[in-house]
Structure formats: C-alpha cells, structure tokens
Structure 1
C-alpha cells in the first residue's frame, strides 16, 4: 500500500502503528515524507511502544512539522484514550478482535489499513466496523457510514499570549514552532518577574500507589520536559541549573513502608526512580536519612527565568513582545480579540488569545469566575557555608538546593495571604524545615537571611487549567464537558501551583495540539481532568457555585 500516494494534497496526515519497535519504520516514514515534493504540511505518527513507563509519551522532533507520540499500554486501552483521527493504520502483532470497535471510533473517513497478518475473527470484526478489504489481502479502506468527527479546519495562525512566565513562554515556543505569529503581552517590563522569577525551581516526578491523575500527569510532564530541555540546549548549559538528582526523604517509618510497596509493585526503571533504604540513602547524601528515600536521578533544579529565556529565544522572528503594559482588558470585536492597556489603547489583536497570567486571570471579565487562588510562597536564600554541602536536591515537606553562586535555596512557605514583603516568621519556618531535612538543629544558625516572595496560582483540585475557556454565563444546565459553551478563540494555561517548571512545556504542547487539530499528547482522561470547563460542571452540582482554593 503506497502511503505517499494517499497523503498527497493534504495539509496533515496521521499514521497509527501498533508496533513502534526500534523506530525503524517510523524513521523510514519520516524520510519518505521529507523527500516527497507533494508531502502534507504536517505528519503525525502515533505508535504503541514497549519498554516505556505507562501512558502517552510525546517525543519532541527537530522538525516542528513532525510529531511522534508513543503509547505504552494495551492496544484497546490506548485506543480508548487516544484523541486522533488516523488516515493510515498499520496492525502488527495484535491479539484478539476487541480493538476493532475502538479503532473504528477514531479512524478518519477513507483511512487505509494494512496488517501483517489477521485471523478470521479479526478480519470479520474489522469488516463489521466498516473496513472494506481488497479481496483476500490484508489491506482495507475504512468506509463506515457512521458520522465522523469533523476534521478541524486549519487555523489562522495568529495569537496573543498574556503572561511571560513559564506558562506563557512555553505557549509562545509551542505556537511559534508551528508557524504561528505570536504577540506576547506582559504587564511587567521583563519576563519571569513573578512566580517564575525564583532562583531555583525543582523538577522531579510524583509517585503514588494508585497511579492517580496527578501522578500520571506529572510523570508525563516530567518526561516531556526532560526531552524538551535537551532539545533547547540542556540543563547546566543553555539552561541555568543542575541535573544533579533529587532525593525525597520519607517522612517516617509508615511512609517508608508505603514507598517500599510502590517500588515493589511499580518496577520503575532505575533512571526514573529508585527507592533507597537508610544505608544507601545516607551514603549518597552524607547526612542522616533515618527512613530512607526516593532517588530521582534525572531530577534536579533549574532557574525558571533561564528556562523562560531559552523558550522565548527559540521563537525567533515569529514573536513580538509587548512588555510593561500594566493591567489589561479583553474585548471581542467581530472575529478578533483586542487587548487594551491601562490607557485604553489597543496593545494587540488576534483571533486567538491564551491566558497564561496566573492569578492575574482573576482580573479579566472573561475568566474571573474561575476558582483560582494565589498562595504566597517565601523562599530563603542562604550563604552556602551556613548549611551542609549537598550533592543533589534534598526535599521532604520542604526543599534545599545544592549551592550555586554561593547561595542555596530553602523553602518554600504556603501562606494564605497576599503580603509581598519578606517576613522573618517565614524565614524561620523555612529554617526549621531545613534543620529537619539535614538532621541538624543548629544549621543556618546566625546566617544572614535573604529571599524572595512569589505567588503560586492554584485551582481547588491542584491541577492546571489547560484548554478552551468556558463561558460560565452561557452554560445553563450543561452536564457534559463537550457541551459547555466556550468563549470563541479564548484559551487558558493557568493554575500550575508549585509544578510550573515541568507542567508548562507539556501543557503548552497539549494546547497547541488542540488548536492545530493534531493527535493529543495525553490520554483523554487527563485532557478532561485539565479542561477549564470542569469547574462549570462542578458549579452546577454545588449550590454555592465555584469554590476558592482558599
């Protein structure tokens, strides 16, 4: 079957393969695409892959017109969670026939299918779902009369991104890589001047015994961020920081027992996570670790501002910066959004707007009903000679970074007030936690105290808001996410809490994929869990309406 003849004349083309193997087939397909003068503008490859952590894995490509998404899990489970419309399907080594219905649910009209081998039951199941075979061959065309989801139109690639922190910078990078013209609007004179302005942010995964939604999201985001940062030049090179590893100490003996169970059941690859008993943890750390801890060898710390900078630099000439505009308002005029500054003048206009301004979204009429809160976080900066030298990031209820530039960072507090000033009481709280981490009641005694205050944007469920912004006023008695009315062209990247460093790249990739009609880089269960419209449904179920995180 000639894939190239099938894809010619299309703007985008999606291939689904049930066996990625060593990647040979995917690379050959990419090479055929590159050398075809009648290639589609964009090629998306989605494939099942072994030897990966469970879930979806978006693998960044040098050519932004290509996407590669690897799915780790059973075929039927992956198909049920996949948001894509394959134009070509290759079946290799599939078992049973239960996959046929799920495949037919997502296959594009006229999709081609090719199989290595099919038994009679599999062939009959595919035929029952609308696949028409070419004689006795294992080649077929999807000709179901069931209604297909409409193919999203090619968007007008002009957008405004509001907010130049991690969320906004990642949004600019993902959109500009896809050929969008982006105007970045920021109320401050420079990027990363609020929560993204800390000296150090920690990157590490999250573990849980039930592999719940926050765990799965954070794992996917962490792995994607590691790949994306390597492509941008790497931690410790283009990005200021250290991929030195993170040791998360167990809180107590009970927590250690739960962690051992997770380690035994999950069988994590050692490069992702290793449980260390007390002797091994103490030998690595050089300090007491009474109950052991989790080692994340690929984790570490990075200065968020430097991450913002490399992402913005990657945008090149497609990015226009409008900084120092102060407070803004949004208004819709015909098919465009207008951003007005404090003086009422139009700062930018475009069909698409992405709100990536954290708790600042609460000041805009279109997003003020989102239940977002700003949690105060004070970080303490200490001279490196006032605390034990660390070979890696150490954390438990708080964190302590290795020294960089003679400074180590300890923190951060979680306060329910809006005080932007440094407080002695918050420094003392950070130092008490630091002393518990290093098992030294005299650590940082008499040390000069400095630091920084930032405000995390947090939703009630502690998950980010990624996607098309709901229109609360028009929602009525809506009961399903897909039926929630949305503000046309208005989208959100908000609520990153303490995990903006790793959530930002994947969240931006998800939103860009939604805007472009690409295969999504996350399971639909996670996509729905991040949908900003989830709060519309919760408000309908609660007589008190949206609830604040405070």
Structure 2
C-alpha cells in the first residue's frame, strides 16, 4: 500500500509493526522523510525480541521522529501500550493466535489502516469481528498480503487537543532540567524558575551520582522502571555528548558486592534465570570479582559494565544547554507562591511580583512542592543524605564504583565520594556521626577495618524527596478535594495544566530523563514510553485512591 495516504493531513502518524526489521523501518522513514506532505511527527512502535524486556524509546537525531522498540509477546505488548495507532503492519504472527486482536482494535484510530502478511483465516475473521474491513485479495500486493481499514461504529476516544506549548518548570535540579530539555525538544517555550542562584543546588548538587540498574528475583515494578530509565539515560546522555565528555563523570562500571553468602545465592539464581547480556549485568564469582577489584570480594557481586558515576550538576548543565533559546532561566527567585488565574498559572516571588505565567506548570522542586496548596496533600518526605568526601590518598585506587549498602567512587580531582546516609535529621550541617557511618560502611566495602582512618569531616548534605512507596510521581496532579468517591485512576479529577515530577529519592540521576519523557508524551498526547502498569504506578493520583482505602490518609512519615 501507499504509506503516504496514511499520514497525509495528520499532525502525528503512529505506525505499529509486529516484527521489527531494520530495513523495513529504514524504508518507511525514508518514504516519510521525502514526502513533502508528510505529517510533522512519525512515531514507530515495533516489537523486537533482541533487547532487554520491556519498552525502549530510542533517541533519534531527526526532529519529529520517534522509535519505540518493545520486547514482549504481542498479546502482552499491545495490552500494555498507550497509543493511538494509524497503521498496523502485521506479519510473522502465524503462531500468535487471535488474542492480540482486541488490543489492535483498542489502539486503532477511527480510520486506521492495516497491512497483514501471512495472517491466518482465524486472525482475519477476528479482526473483521472487531471492525476491520478487508479489501478484496489483490495479487499485486504480494503473496499472503491483505489490507484493511478500521470501520467500527463503536465510539472512539477523541484525539487529545494540541496543547499550548508554553510551560513553567519550578525547580532547576535534575528533574526540572530534564523537563525543560524534553519539552524544548518538542518546540515548547519554557520558563525555568529556581529559588537558588544556579541549577543543582539541592539534592542534585552532589559531586557524584551513581548510575546502575536494579535487579530482583520477581522483576518487580521498581526493577522494571529502573531498567527502562537506566537504558534510556545511557542512550540520551550519548546524544548529549556522553559521560566523560559533555557530562562530567566516568562510565567505569559498577561492582555491587553481595552482602553475604545467602544473598550471593539469591543473586546467582537471578543470574541463571534472567540470562542478562554481559554488557548489562554479569554475575562475578569471588575469583573474578577480586581479580577485577584487586581487593577482597568474598561473596562475589554484580558487574554493571555500562554503569558508573556522573556529577548531577553537569547533567543539568548539558540538558539546559540543549534547550537553547527555548528556555528562559529565572534563578535566585527565592520563595514563590502559585495561583491559577484566568487559565494561566502565575508564579510570584515573596514581594508579590510576577515571575512567570503560562498555561502549564510542572512542579519539579522536590519536597518543596508541598508548600504549593494544590500539592500539599501529597505524602512526600525529605530525608537527609550525607556524603563524605575522602582524600584519594587515604584509599586504594578503584577501577570501578564499588557499592553494597553504600557506595564508594573512584577518585575525581583527588576526592572519593562515600555514602550516602538516610537520616531523619533536618539539620543541613555536616554531622560527625553520619561521617563515621559512611566511613564504617566504606571499610566494609574494602574489607579493611582501618581504611580512611582520620579522614577529615568533609562532604555534603542533601535532602531527598521520597514518597511512601519509594516510586516517583510523574503526571497530572490530582484534585484531592474534588475526588469524591472515585475508585479508578482514570476518573480522578485533576488540576488543569498542573503536573508533577517528584519523589525521585536516590535515583533521580537515572529516573529524571525517562520521567520527563513520559510527562512530555502525556501532555502532547503521544504514545507513552512505558507500559501502562508502570505509568499507573507512577501516577500522582495513586495517593487519592490509597487515602480512601486508608482512612487516616497517606502520612508523610510512611517511609
């Protein structure tokens, strides 16, 4: 069929390919690229069995082009997609049964097209039962190729309105900087409002943040989210110039030691079951781990070859630099108030002077968000984290980041970072007790009870923003007062044009990029870059439903 007819007249065209093929993808993109009447945005979703499980958004150099690769059985993949598909390309499904057909119909736009190759008679009949009308057999299209149009009379969800592409982002840490970059990449004009004199002055201000995936036996929601975000971050940072170049840090690898023999046995079982690619995660037994580290590693550990450390502030700098002139930076603003006036959000400083106004406001200011009345009932806590800066000469040279319950980085500018504590103490000053805690954990990592003896009290204190379930909040903010007896996420009323990127805890360096991409896709009405199970798990409105189930409500100290 002529693909041009599918995207003509559309603001966005979404194609779903049941079998990823690089050559077929290239042909499709070339046709789109050379068509003067092309839609401004082409979004391709393709099922691919040669990646880590889950969804993978693959950064593209060309504006308007998005490619998602999904590693899951077709039934699972389509059931978890949030997208409006204009063209389905179905092939290689002879043994897939008919279970996926209902999801095809759910995802189809009102006039979607379908090209099938090798579909079984039962699959064609099931598609017809869902509203697809097949053309007569045409020998010119190739053997086994059938084309169809979606002609169901069932009501279709309306296309989301095109947003007014102006926003205020409150907070210039890693969450806010990522939000600016992802929106500006879509042509938005953004005003970034920060109370400090420059970016990354609070939780994002540490010398080093660790980037590595999370593993679990049951591949739970935090594991799946962190895996997707970690892989997205690696790809996205490469587009920004790379760690060790545009971004200060080292992609030196991370060695996560087992706690003890019992813990090692569990990790060994994960390695056998998951069969991860070595570049993603490799289990090292004691001899391998000790040969790499040059230090004792009695129970072995996980090697994450693509992991390492990066200075969060330099990631913020790279993200904001990528925004160019589309972002207006308003630093040193101090405390602000927020109000919705005539369809616009207004941000004013302590003197009442207008700082910024726009139809969309994104709260990316950590635990400070609860000072905004519309966000005051979110159960966010600020937990203190102290990092110790240890002179490199007091420690053995490390080839990788070393971690277990704590972490220790290789030297940078003569300093190794060790930490970080989790304290309920609100004191921002360096604490000798927290420093000693970091040193004790450091000694455990190095299997040396005398390491860093006499290390001076040097380091940094930051406060992490944490939700009770330790997952971030990404999406439109709920209106708690208007929620009534709502029982489903999709029915929770929301504040117009008000969004959250909050609760990044200790994983903001990894979570920020994909969180911002998810939010930007939600606002734009694009296909989402995560499975719906994960999207729902991150929805700030989850706390509306939990407050109803728990009469005392979500409490700030439920961590």
Give the TM-score band, short-chain normalised: over 0.9
Alpha-carbon deviations, 1:81-104, whole Å to 9, x = none? 000011000001012121111110
Is 1:45 paired with 2:44?
yes
How many angstroms does 1:64 deviate by? 3.3
How many angstroms does 1:106 deviate by? 1.0
Distance in 2 separating the partners of 1:106 and 1:146: 13
Match of 1:250 among 255, 258, 272: 258
Distance in 1 separating the partners of 2:422 and 2:394: 24
Distance in 1 separating the partners of 2:506 and 2:191: 26
How many angstroms does 1:329 deviate by? 1.1
Distance in 2 separating the partners of 1:17 and 1:232: 29
Is 1:170 paired with 2:205?
no
SS in 2 for 1:315: helix
Distance in 1 separating the partners of 2:319 and 2:63: 14
How many angstroms does 1:63 deviate by? 2.0
SS in 2 for 1:79: helix
Match of 2:213 among 197, 205, 216: 205
Structure 1 gaps of 5+ residues are: none
Distance in 2 separating the partners of 1:286 and 1:484: 55
Tell me which residue corresponds to 1:303: 311
Tell me which residue corresponds to 2:392: 384
Tell me which residue corresponds to 2:241: 233
How many angstroms does 1:148 deviate by? 1.1
Structure 2 gaps of 5+ residues are: 139-145
Distance in 1 separating the partners of 2:401 and 2:521: 33
Is 1:454 paired with 2:453?
no
How many angstroms does 1:136 deviate by? 2.5
Distance in 2 separating the partners of 1:55 and 1:326: 41
How many angstroms does 1:334 deviate by? 1.3
Match of 1:315 among 311, 323, 342: 323
Distance in 1 separating the partners of 2:133 and 2:91: 18
Is 1:331 paired with 2:332?
no
Q: How many residues align?
A: 549
1:24-43 aligned within 5 A? 24-43=23-42
* TM-score (norm. length: structure 2): 0.97
Distance in 2 separating the partners of 1:285 and 1:515: 46
SS in 1 for 2:309: strand
Tell me which residue corresponds to 2:128: 127
Is 1:504 paired with 2:506?
no
SS in 1 for 2:227: helix
How many angstroms does 1:447 deviate by? 2.3
Match of 2:353 among 345, 350, 354: 345
SS in 2 for 1:436: helix
Alpha-carbon deviations, 1:105-141, whole Å to 9, x = none? 1111110000112121111010000000001250000
Alpha-carbon deviations, 1:207-231, whole Å to 9, x = none? 0000000000000000000000000
Distance in 1 separating the partners of 2:235 and 2:27: 22
Is 1:535 paired with 2:534?
no
Distance in 1 separating the partners of 2:485 and 2:102: 32
Alpha-carbon deviations, 1:208-257, whole Å to 9, x = none? 00000000000000000000000000000000000000000000011000
Is 1:277 paired with 2:276?
no
SS in 2 for 1:175: helix
Tell me which residue corresponds to 1:147: 155
Distance in 1 separating the partners of 2:119 and 2:461: 62
SS in 2 for 1:263: helix
Aligned alpha-carbon RMSD (Å): 0.8
1:109-124 aligned within 5 A? 109-124=110-125
Distance in 2 separating the partners of 1:151 and 1:70: 24
Tell me which residue corresponds to 1:57: 56
Alpha-carbon deviations, 1:254-294, whole Å to 9, x = none? 10000010000001000000000001000000000010000
Tell me which residue corresponds to 2:105: 104
Tell me which residue corresponds to 2:379: 371
How many angstroms does 1:448 deviate by? 2.2
Distance in 2 separating the partners of 1:72 and 1:149: 27
SS in 1 for 2:393: helix
Alpha-carbon deviations, 1:41-87, whole Å to 9, x = none? 11110010111111000111112311111110100100000000110
Tell me which residue corresponds to 1:11: 11
Distance in 2 separating the partners of 1:446 and 1:308: 34
- Does structure 1 conserve the Cα–Cα contact (< 8 Å) formed by 2:173 and 2:204? yes
SS in 2 for 1:349: strand
Tell me which residue corresponds to 1:422: 430
Distance in 2 separating the partners of 1:230 and 1:27: 22
SS in 2 for 1:111: strand
- Does structure 1 conserve the Cα–Cα contact (< 8 Å) formed by 2:6 and 2:13? no
How many angstroms does 1:323 deviate by? 0.8
Distance in 2 separating the partners of 1:167 and 1:473: 27
Distance in 2 separating the partners of 1:348 and 1:29: 42
SS in 2 for 1:366: helix
Tell me which residue corresponds to 2:499: 491
SS in 1 for 2:57: strand
Distance in 2 separating the partners of 1:57 and 1:299: 18
Distance in 1 separating the partners of 2:274 and 2:416: 33
How many angstroms does 1:387 deviate by? 1.0
Distance in 2 separating the partners of 1:195 and 1:6: 47
* TM-score (norm. length: structure 1): 0.99
- Does structure 1 conserve the Cα–Cα contact (< 8 Å) formed by 2:90 and 2:114? yes
Distance in 1 separating the partners of 2:31 and 2:165: 27
Distance in 1 separating the partners of 2:42 and 2:278: 33
SS in 2 for 1:237: coil
How many angstroms does 1:11 deviate by? 0.7
Distance in 2 separating the partners of 1:489 and 1:435: 49
State which drifts further: 56-65 or 226-235.
Answer: 56-65
